[in-house]
């Protein structure tokens, strides 16, 4: 058991250390890549605790989380998520895990919001935080140290464009997001599936099975699901993404993370981060 303090901290200490204060991310840092990593995970955690507005938003968040934890999320967790999207027609209630991730007004299963929020906190504490810790330890040996006075805006963690200040990882993230959204939207025809397969190669960093796109194109039921716009097939593509794509995305990020090089790149003023 952790020791529990029985006395309140002095008021001057409480004033100088506010747990709700994230610090000044616009200030410089000697090792900004580490700060950027921590703050990106913090943002993903806040999105989780707030809950999501749709199953699609959950999938986009899991893809982003895989990148922000540098592929250190357990593969088994993604397989579990895939099972939660399985066999649920649009007319039925979500499975419990998905229901807990959705905000109260967007879930159909009867689940009290306090219980759902506690589940989300447990997910953060038991799964995301250990993965984030492993990612931090992997990054710390290669995180660049800028030996100026630490106040150069170019090195401010809050102004960094790239995930962990690694352009290659950020590029992989963008490829994954675009490829995932294309799948969820569906394809116009069979040829579009083949074209999408090239993007998938980049998005998975070569971790996708060599016969995967061949099966997507050749199997009648899969091809129909990928090119149909009815509600049942849209649900089917969500399951397809959760089961087949996102776990492989995570493996691709993990492989690339140890090879990517650091580069400071201050965001343009008009650049904003899209919220789920």
Greater model confidence, 274 or 118: 118
Query: What are the residues whose beta carbons fall under 8 Å from the beta carbon of 95, sequence distance 6 or more?
Result: 84, 85, 88, 109
Greater model confidence, 21 or 205: 205
Report pLDDT for 115.
96
The residue with tokens 């492993």 is 134
Count CB atoms within 10 A of the CB of residue 191: 10
Report pLDDT for 81.
92
Report pLDDT for 20.
40
Report pLDDT for 177.
98
Flag whether pLDDT at 128 surpasses 90: yes
The rounded distance, in Å, linking the Cα atoms of 156 and 261 is 18
Report pLDDT for 276.
38
Q: Express each pLDDT in 220-270 by its tens digit.
A: 999 999 999 898 999 999 999 999 999 999 999 999 987 654 445 544 333
Flag whether pLDDT at 34 surpasses 50: yes
**Cβ distance 173 to 160 under 8 Å?**
no
For residue 76, CA distances in Å to 5, 73, 85, 97, 112 come to 37, 9, 15, 15, 27
For residue 151, CA distances in Å to 26, 31, 125, 158, 263 come to 9, 12, 33, 12, 17
The rounded distance, in Å, linking the Cα atoms of 46 and 275 is 11
Residue 36 banded pLDDT, cuts 50, 70, 90: confident
Q: What average pLDDT does the chain have?
A: 81
Report pLDDT for 219.
96
Flag whether pLDDT at 37 surpasses 80: yes
The rounded distance, in Å, linking the Cα atoms of 115 and 51 is 12
Greater model confidence, 127 or 30: 127
Structural tokens at position 47: 């999105």
The residue with tokens 């716009």 is 229
Q: Where are the beta strands (DSSP E) in 122-231?
A: none
Report pLDDT for 269.
34
Of 63-72, 84-93, 123-132, 198-207, the poorest mean pLDDT is in: 84-93
Report pLDDT for 205.
95
Report pLDDT for 275.
37
Report pLDDT for 272.
33
Of 2-16, 149-163, 217-231, the poorest mean pLDDT is in: 2-16
Greater model confidence, 194 or 90: 194
**Cβ distance 241 to 56 under 8 Å?**
no
Per this entry, what is the length of the chain? Answer: 276
The rounded distance, in Å, linking the Cα atoms of 199 and 180 is 10
Q: Express each pLDDT in 185-226 by its tens digit.
A: 999 999 999 999 999 999 999 999 999 999 999 999 999 999
Tell me the H-state helices in 141-189.
167-185
Query: What are the residues whose beta carbons fall under 8 Å from the beta carbon of 255, sequence distance 6 or more?
Result: 71, 205, 207
> Could you give the 3-state DSSP secondary structure of residue 160?
strand
Report pLDDT for 141.
79
């Amino acid at each position: 058991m952790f020791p529990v303090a029985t006395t309140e901290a002095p008021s001057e200490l409480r004033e100088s250390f506010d747990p709700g204060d994230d610090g000044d991310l616009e200030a410089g840092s000697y090792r900004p890549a580490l700060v950027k990593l921590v703050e990106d995970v913090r943002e993903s955690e806040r999105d989780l605790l707030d809950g999501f507005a749709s199953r699609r938003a959950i999938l986009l968040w899991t893809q982003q989380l895989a990148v922000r934890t540098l592929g250190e999320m357990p593969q088994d967790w993604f397989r579990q998520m895939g099972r939660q999207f399985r066999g649920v027609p649009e007319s039925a209630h979500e499975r419990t895990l998905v229901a807990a991730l959705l905000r109260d007004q967007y879930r159909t299963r009867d689940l009290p919001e306090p219980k759902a929020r506690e589940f989300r906190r447990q997910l953060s504490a038991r799964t995301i935080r250990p993965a984030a810790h492993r990612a931090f330890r992997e990054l710390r040996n290669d995180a660049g140290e800028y030996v100026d006075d630490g106040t150069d805006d170019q090195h401010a963690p809050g102004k960094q464009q790239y995930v962990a200040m690694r352009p290659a990882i950020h590029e992989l993230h963008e490829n994954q997001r675009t490829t995932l959204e294309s799948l969820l939207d569906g394809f116009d025809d069979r040829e579009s599936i083949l074209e999408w397969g090239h993007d998938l190669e980049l998005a998975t960093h070569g971790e996708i099975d060599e016969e995967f796109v061949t099966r997507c194109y050749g199997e009648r039921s899969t091809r129909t699901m990928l090119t149909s716009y009815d509600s049942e097939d849209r649900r089917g593509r969500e399951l397809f993404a959760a089961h087949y794509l996102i776990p492989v995305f995570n493996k691709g990020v993990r492989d690339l993370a140890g090879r990517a090089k650091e580069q400071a790149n201050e965001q343009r003023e008009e650049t904003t981060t899209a919220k789920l």
